[in-house]
Amino acid sequence: MTEKIWKDRGEFNKEKVLEYSKKLGISPEVVAILDKRNINLDTFFSSELSLPNALLIKDMEKGVDIAKGFCDRKLKIAVINDYDVDGATSGVIMKEALKVVGGESFVLTPKRTIDGYGMSKRLVDLAKEEGAELIVTTDNGISAFEAISYAKGLGLTVVVTDHHEVHKDKGLDVLPEADAVIDPKRSDSEYPFTDICGAEVALKFSCVLFAKANIDNDVRKKFFRRFTELAAIGTVCDVMPLVEENRSLVKMGLHYLELSQIIGIRQLLRFQEIEPEKITASDIGFRIGPCINAMSRIYDDTDTVLRFFEEKDHIKSKEIAKILFDANEERKNYSESSKKMALKLYDPSLPISIIYIPNENPAVMGIVAGKVKDETGHPTLCLTDIEDGKIKGSGRSTSDYDMFERFSRYEDKYVNFGGHPGAIGITIDKEKLSEVTELINKDAAGMVFKKETLVDLYLSMKYVSDRIILDIDKMEPFGEGNPAPVFCDDTMYLEYAKEMGKDGKFRRLSLCDDYGNKREAVYFGDAGEFDNYISEFFGNPKKEELYNEFVPSHLPVSFLYSPKFNYWNGNRSISFVIKDYMVRG
């Protein structure tokens, strides 16, 4: 078991909290949580979609002008996107936006197994064969130096739209040879918020393009609605922080998704048994996104994904949604068996887990690494065989280990490498595996990784009111950068436990404080681990007693929880969902 740590998010300013609580009509507890997270209280609850001026992104105007010129002259345009969700949504937005202003555009998507990530020479050749004279990239291109030079050599014009990090040399931006390079992460770009996804860059591009082409307001509105849905899906699936403009974009996108214009989405929601009017960012991130990604992961099929977003016919849409749904079920099976294998091979004595799993599907390594990391608390890289004695994998890191930077230190040992602090992709020669494992772990020697949970507010359960829960709801959409709040109660005692749910795999816990305030809570985590924990600290007889409903146990255990409404027979009551537990010393 990894050591667990509960860490307070920090201080809040009492006067400021009371002032804003009055001003916003939000309970002070919830305002305090936001203040501890350094959230801008003036804009957080605003319902307007406030987007900074898109023209502040360097080359935006130049790129749009180039594209509009090709549309006006009816020259063919290839949109080269990427195979993940952000790639797909950004590609659809770009292709359709160019069509609206009269362009002849089509999408080319890299094949995971042939092209790897992003634009390749093969795709440039394809674009040329199809008669394209302009290539517009979405969600990739900023590092496609070779393919872009190649395209330029063939006489093509290239406009890059991307959101990935810009390659640096001695601290200076190194850009590809394209005619316009639109990326908010360029150091000479003045756009104030850079954590936007590729689909959001494409959305901004389309807004500027529509304005330049004097597109009719009604048409603009219709497409803006559709593009907002797509960009919201891209934002959530690319794990952008749900703050600032991303928050308002996703909020609006979720609202539109309740009555989605994208028929495929409506069908997929049905297969996933998600009620459209209750759709959340986590539904998009954990249930819709994986279905879209599964098509390329399992079958390297991106055409079906494009059709999924574009098909207008209900029956065909339903068929496509079913294909995506099934692919995801298959992906789940793959990753479940790989995960079990990986956990068997996991070596707890090493700070960084580098796990080779023979002959698995390389496309699920990232998912598996993420699961192993969550379970063990250690940064994890999972690799499996590809061709020619090479192994390929993905890594997922914890917040205190910059995996990209640390692995970059030995870049000469790899065949292929890329990523960011939280995740990497890597290919190495199999024979180098033990050397790399040793180097990386030597470099990380002495680092201790603990399962750390951030506590938003210390608040005894007895102070949780209906109003607090209603105000927490107003903090939605939850996700990266804006997680659902976690409360800590360190005043209660554990009195009774009871099995609940199918096969008794969950727990109902009865708690009481020194003044006789009683609360009921539920625990949906690993009940076996919970029982072991209690026996370990208090002994087995005490654990047995805990399950005896006639003897209160009075065990000093603190809880992390989130309060929820429970609806039963038309009545609403407050229930407490336990996230974690710890014995008070």
Residue 555 β-bridge partners: 494
Residue whose CB is less far from Mn ion, 27 or 137? 137
Smallest distance, Mn ion to C-beta of residue 198, A: 4
Residue whose CB is less far from Mn ion, 139 or 311? 139
Residue whose CB is less far from Mn ion, 235 or 482? 235
- Of 198, 253, 264, 485, the one binding Mn ion (CB under 5 A) is 198
Under DSSP, the state recorded for 83 is: S
246 three-class SS: helix
Q: Quote the CA–CA distance of 379 and 2 in Å, as a whole number.
A: 13
Q: Quote the CA–CA distance of 68 and 59 in Å, as a whole number.
A: 14
**Distances 29 to 18, 303, 485, 562 between C-alpha atoms, Å:** 10, 48, 11, 13
Q: Which residue is associated with the tokens 């065989």?
A: 385
Smallest distance, Mn ion to C-beta of residue 184, A: 12
Smallest distance, Mn ion to C-beta of residue 203, A: 13
Helix, strand, coil percentages in the chain from 3-state DSSP, rounded to 5? 45, 20, 35
Under DSSP, the state recorded for 378 is: S
Residue whose CB is less far from Mn ion, 208 or 237? 237
**Closest-CA residue to 297 (of 324, 317, 322):** 324
Smallest distance, Mn ion to C-beta of residue 108, A: 17
55 alpha-carbon distance from chain centroid: 27
Smallest distance, Mn ion to C-beta of residue 139, A: 4
Residue whose CB is less far from Mn ion, 90 or 105? 90
Sole window of 132-140, 173-181, 271-279, 313-321 interacting with Mn ion (rule: CB under 5 A): 132-140
Give me the 545-584 binding string for Mn ion, x by CB under 5 A, dash otherwise: ----------------------------------------
Smallest distance, Mn ion to C-beta of residue 237, A: 9
**Interacting positions 295-314 with Mn ion (CB under 5 A):** none
Q: Does 86 bind Mn ion (CB under 5 A)?
A: yes
Q: Quote the CA–CA distance of 467 and 487 in Å, as a whole number.
A: 15
Start-to-end Cα distance in the chain: 19
Smallest distance, Mn ion to C-beta of residue 401, A: 22
Nearby residues of 362 by Cβ (< 8 Å), 6 or more positions away: 384, 385, 386, 392, 393
Residue whose CB is less far from Mn ion, 118 or 395? 118
Q: Does 200 bind Mn ion (CB under 5 A)?
A: no
**Interacting positions 137-156 with Mn ion (CB under 5 A):** 139
Sole window of 82-90, 325-333, 361-369, 448-456 interacting with Mn ion (rule: CB under 5 A): 82-90
Residue with the CB atom nearest Mn ion in the bound state = 86
Q: Quote the CA–CA distance of 557 and 542 in Å, as a whole number.
A: 13
Residue whose CB is less far from Mn ion, 118 or 198? 198
Residue whose CB is less far from Mn ion, 151 or 202? 202
Report phi then psi at 197, rounded to 5: -90, 175
Smallest distance, Mn ion to C-beta of residue 275, A: 28
173 three-class SS: strand
Sole window of 78-86, 116-124, 147-155, 368-376 interacting with Mn ion (rule: CB under 5 A): 78-86
Residue whose CB is less far from Mn ion, 28 or 234? 234
CB 205 within 8 A of CB 165: no
Smallest distance, Mn ion to C-beta of residue 8, A: 33
Smallest distance, Mn ion to C-beta of residue 212, A: 25
Residue whose CB is less far from Mn ion, 293 or 317? 293
Residue whose CB is less far from Mn ion, 404 or 561? 404
**Interacting positions 350-369 with Mn ion (CB under 5 A):** none
Q: Quote the CA–CA distance of 157 and 146 in Å, as a whole number.
A: 15
Residue whose CB is less far from Mn ion, 200 or 471? 200
Q: Quote the CA–CA distance of 250 and 411 in Å, as a whole number.
A: 37
Q: Give me 574's structure tokens.
A: 């407050």
Q: Quote the CA–CA distance of 170 and 26 in Å, as a whole number.
A: 48
Instruction: Give me the DSSP letters along 279-328.
Output: --HHHIIIIIHHHHHHHHHHH---HHHHHHHH---HHHHHHHHHHHHHHH
Q: Does 238 bind Mn ion (CB under 5 A)?
A: yes
Residue whose CB is less far from Mn ion, 139 or 245? 139
Sole window of 103-111, 232-240, 443-451, 565-573 interacting with Mn ion (rule: CB under 5 A): 232-240
Q: Give me 323's structure tokens.
A: 């294909």
**Interacting positions 248-277 with Mn ion (CB under 5 A):** none
Smallest distance, Mn ion to C-beta of residue 364, A: 19
Nearby residues of 558 by Cβ (< 8 Å), 6 or more positions away: 488, 489, 490, 492, 581, 582, 583, 584
Smallest distance, Mn ion to C-beta of residue 224, A: 21
- Kindly determine how many residues on this chain lie close enough to bind Mn ion according to the rule CB under 5 A: 4
Sole window of 196-204, 328-336, 373-381, 545-553 interacting with Mn ion (rule: CB under 5 A): 196-204
Q: Does 96 bind Mn ion (CB under 5 A)?
A: no
Helices (H) and strands (E) in the chain, counts: 20, 21
Q: CA angle, 343 as apex, 341 and 347 as ends, to 5°?
A: 120
Residue whose CB is less far from Mn ion, 231 or 323? 231
Q: Does 195 bind Mn ion (CB under 5 A)?
A: no
CB 182 within 8 A of CB 201: yes
Smallest distance, Mn ion to C-beta of residue 414, A: 22
Q: Give me 499's structure tokens.
A: 């099995």
Residues that bind Mn ion (CB under 5 A): 86, 139, 198, 238
